[in-house]
């Protein structure tokens, strides 16, 4: 997988000698992660079983090492944005925040996977290599401003995920999860490619800025509308938007739980990054087509996701449908991007950052609790406060955040969405804000139901023995809880980082 990634990265980094020198610092995060991933692969091939226990640690250090050039680039604000490869790759504050988000998410996923994978009856070294390869694709996606690099990044994200979804080879549900995810993913890629091919035919270029220039000439044509619709549908599969969400619940339930957290957070966020890049950069003159389409998709997605989540008895499936609804929330600002393009990226990135913390935290609790109960049924969480008060408090905070209840950070994420939607008093934005408010109330019902189970109902089997939490899971829980609480109590910290984020054009 890393050999494949290296060949792809080489295609976009190696240029003829008569062109300007490459800005190696700008692509340092990708190169560091690529080199670290290749080194981990070699160590695994040489050491085999002897180095198996080192894989989670080495992978975690790889993500932290790649974070260093992200921070150094951020510190050189005067030199941003940096445009590479004739405008096909842009490094700006927007992309750096997303790269930091993906690397830290990968770090938390490695922590969540440590005990889960080592205690399972399967070889786990390749699992971490695939996670690193998928995160590499997300780093590339953050800076991509070209259809080819966007599609390559999407496939580099998706192909390892197909393999990991079916990682539990002796589990029929895991096999089903991997098969459904792969088939639906391939179908989505085909639709997306068709939309991209139409855009290339209309513009004669794969660069987003060239497509924007070509589509802004004259009025919208049926072929332009068709290209936009197919492109949005392709991304809709990636972010599990309704009606393209059918793969998500079965895949989330059947896949290894750490991978479910990865798909629900990192993979979904990468899909939204691709959607933002294409819609905001390539379709600025087509808001009359894109905005109604995004409004309908967002409204239907959040409503269907929440209504189905109400009926779930399994916490993982509930979080899957909750993730579908959250996709609708995140998508909503794109329904008003035509008149509020300066604030849409910052609102969406703010939500993605807080969503990553609270959702990863919720999955961390699911993994920890399953070590005792062996089940993800909501009824198995009854009476948890009696034998795991700290875990119950943490889960309550994550659920409050998902519901948008202060002081957890989710309230600020939703507030940012409402502010963008209602800015300018546009009818479409106000109506979508009302739909979002109603759905937030619906979502609070099933989030608070889990809280009721943990705090007020008895333990189903009467077992009140304490839950033993391994150190790696403790660190993951502490990090996600810290971000969730701080972002809610001190939202200005989040605003200072994301408030000025814009997609820089080459």
DSSP 482-500: HHHHHHHH-HHHHHHHHTT
Banded model confidence at residue 18, pLDDT cuts 50, 70, 90: very low
Contact 281, 212 (CB under 8 A): yes
Domain assignment of residue 220, yes or no: no
- How far is Cα 363 from Cα 10, in angstroms, rounded to an integer? 36
Range 208-237 average pLDDT = 83
pLDDT at position 434, please?
A: 92
Structure-block tokens of residue 128 = 């971490």
Give the total number of structural domains in the chain: 1
Domain assignment of residue 202, yes or no: no
Sole residue written with tokens 């937030």: 440
Structure-block tokens of residue 13 = 């980094």
Banded model confidence at residue 15, pLDDT cuts 50, 70, 90: very low
Banded model confidence at residue 281, pLDDT cuts 50, 70, 90: confident
Banded model confidence at residue 62, pLDDT cuts 50, 70, 90: very high
Contact 115, 127 (CB under 8 A): no
Closest CA to 178 of 196, 192, 195, 159: 159
pLDDT at position 5, please?
A: 54
Sole residue written with tokens 């692969």: 41
Domain assignment of residue 191, yes or no: no
Flag whether pLDDT at 65 surpasses 90. yes
Banded model confidence at residue 475, pLDDT cuts 50, 70, 90: very high
pLDDT at position 220, please?
A: 60
pLDDT at position 242, please?
A: 85
Domain assignment of residue 131, yes or no: no
Q: What is the pLDDT of residues 77-113, one digit of tens each?
A: 777 778 888 888 888 888 898 999 999 999 999 998 8
- How far is Cα 446 from Cα 452, in angstroms, rounded to an integer? 10
Range 304-314 average pLDDT = 90
- How far is Cα 62 from Cα 36, in angstroms, rounded to an integer? 6
Domain assignment of residue 178, yes or no: no
Give me the domain span that covers residue 478: 301-506
Range 276-288 average pLDDT = 85
Contact 362, 398 (CB under 8 A): yes
- How far is Cα 193 from Cα 182, in angstroms, rounded to an integer? 16
Q: What is the pLDDT of residues 328-343, one digit of tens each?
A: 999 999 888 877 777 8
Chain-centre distance of CA 401, in angstroms?
Answer: 17
- How far is Cα 297 from Cα 377, in angstroms, rounded to an integer? 30
3-state secondary structure of 305: helix
- How far is Cα 169 from Cα 178, in angstroms, rounded to an integer? 10
Q: What percent of the chain clears pLDDT 90, i.e. is strictly above it?
A: 23
Flag whether pLDDT at 13 surpasses 50. no
Q: What is the mean pLDDT of the chain?
A: 84
Burial of 356 (0-12, 13-18, 19+ CB in 10 A): buried
- How far is Cα 56 from Cα 110, in angstroms, rounded to an integer? 6
Banded model confidence at residue 223, pLDDT cuts 50, 70, 90: confident
Q: What is the pLDDT of residues 363-404, one digit of tens each?
A: 999 988 888 877 778 888 888 888 888 889 999 999 999 988
Exposed e or buried b for every residue in 430-459, given b needs 16+ CB within 10 A?
eebbebbeebbebbbebbeebbebbbeeeb
State the pTM of this model. Answer: 0.90
pLDDT at position 393, please?
A: 93
The span from the first CA to the last CA of the chain, in angstroms, equals 30
Neighbours of 20 (CB within 10 A): 8
Domain assignment of residue 343, yes or no: yes
Contact 274, 348 (CB under 8 A): no
- Phi, psi dihedrals of residue 90, rounded to the nearest 5°: -125, 130
Q: Are strands 89-91 and 82-84 parallel, antiparallel or unpaired?
A: antiparallel
Chain-centre distance of CA 425, in angstroms?
Answer: 30
pLDDT at position 359, please?
A: 92
pLDDT at position 501, please?
A: 60
Contact 259, 135 (CB under 8 A): no
Q: What percent of the chain clears pLDDT 70, i.e. is strictly above it?
A: 91
pLDDT at position 12, please?
A: 47
Contact 92, 78 (CB under 8 A): no
Domain assignment of residue 109, yes or no: no
Flag whether pLDDT at 22 surpasses 80. no
Flag whether pLDDT at 6 surpasses 90. no
Please tell me whether the peptide bond between 370 and the residue prior to it is cis, using omega within 30 degrees of 0: no
DSSP secondary structure code for residue 464 in this structure: -
Sole residue written with tokens 């800076």: 143
pLDDT at position 288, please?
A: 83
Domain assignment of residue 306, yes or no: yes
- How far is Cα 253 from Cα 54, in angstroms, rounded to an integer? 28
Range 164-173 average pLDDT = 78
pLDDT at position 122, please?
A: 61
Is the model more confident about 41 or about 11? 41
pLDDT at position 337, please?
A: 83
Quickly count helices (H) and strands (E) in the chain.
21, 2
Range 68-84 average pLDDT = 84
Query: Under 8 Å CB-to-CB from 329, ≥6 apart: which residues?
Result: 298, 302, 351, 414, 417, 436, 439
DSSP secondary structure code for residue 331 in this structure: H
Pick from 89-93, 408-412, 464-468: least confident: 464-468
């Amino acid at each position: 997988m890393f050999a494949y990634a290296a060949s792809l990265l080489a295609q976009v980094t190696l240029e003829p000698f008569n062109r300007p020198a490459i800005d190696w610092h700008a692509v340092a995060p990708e190169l560091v992660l690529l080199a670290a991933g290749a080194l981990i692969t070699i160590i695994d091939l040489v050491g085999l079983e002897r180095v198996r226990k080192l894989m989670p640690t080495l992978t975690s250090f790889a993500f932290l090492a790649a974070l260093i050039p992200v921070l150094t680039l951020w510190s050189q604000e005067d030199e941003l944005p940096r445009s590479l490869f004739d405008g096909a790759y842009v490094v700006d504050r927007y992309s750096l925040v997303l790269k930091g988000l993906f690397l830290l998410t990968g770090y938390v996923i490695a922590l969540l996977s440590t005990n889960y994978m080592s205690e399972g009856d399967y070889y786990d070294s390749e699992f971490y290599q695939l996670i690193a390869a998928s995160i590499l694709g997300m780093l590339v996606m953050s800076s991509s401003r070209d259809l080819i690099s966007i599609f390559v990044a999407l496939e580099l994200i998706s192909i390892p995920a197909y393999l990991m979804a079916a990682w539990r080879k002796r589990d029929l549900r895991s096999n089903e999860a991997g098969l459904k995810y792969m088939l639906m993913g391939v179908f989505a890629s085909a639709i997306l490619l068709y939309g991209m091919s139409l855009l290339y035919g209309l513009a004669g270029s794969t660069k987003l800025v060239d497509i924007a220039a070509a589509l802004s000439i004259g009025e919208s044509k049926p072929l332009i509308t068709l290209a936009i619709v197919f492109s949005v549908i392709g991304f809709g599969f990636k972010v599990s938007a309704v009606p393209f969400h059918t793969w998500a619940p079965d895949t989330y339930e059947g896949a290894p739980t750490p991978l479910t957290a990865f798909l629900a957070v990192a993979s979904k966020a990468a899909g939204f990054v691709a959607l933002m890049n294409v819609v905001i950069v390539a379709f600025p003159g087509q808001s009359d087509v894109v905005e109604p389409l995004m409004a309908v998709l967002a409204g239907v997605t959040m409503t269907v996701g929440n209504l189905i989540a109400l009926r779930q008895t399994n916490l993982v499936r509930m979080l899957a449908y909750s993730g579908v609804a959250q996709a609708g929330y995140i998508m909503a600002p794109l329904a008003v991007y035509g008149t509020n393009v300066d604030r849409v990226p910052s609102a969406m990135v703010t939500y993605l950052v807080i969503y990553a913390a609270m959702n990863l935290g919720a999955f961390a609790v699911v993994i920890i609790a399953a070590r005792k109960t062996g089940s993800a049924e909501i009824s198995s969480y009854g009476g948890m406060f009696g034998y795991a008060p700290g875990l119950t408090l943490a889960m309550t905070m994550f659920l409050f955040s998902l519901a948008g209840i202060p002081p957890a950070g989710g309230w600020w994420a939703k507030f940012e969405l409402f502010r963008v939607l209602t800015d300018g008093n546009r009818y479409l934005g106000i109506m979508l804000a009302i739909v979002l408010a109603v759905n937030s109330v619906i979502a609070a019902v099933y989030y608070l139901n889990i809280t009721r189970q943990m705090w007020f109902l008895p333990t189903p089997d009467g077992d009140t023995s304490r839950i033993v939490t391994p150190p790696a899971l403790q660190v993951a829980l502490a990090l996600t809880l810290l971000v969730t609480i701080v972002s809610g109590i001190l939202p200005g910290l989040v605003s200072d980082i994301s408030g000025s984020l814009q997609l820089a054009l080459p």
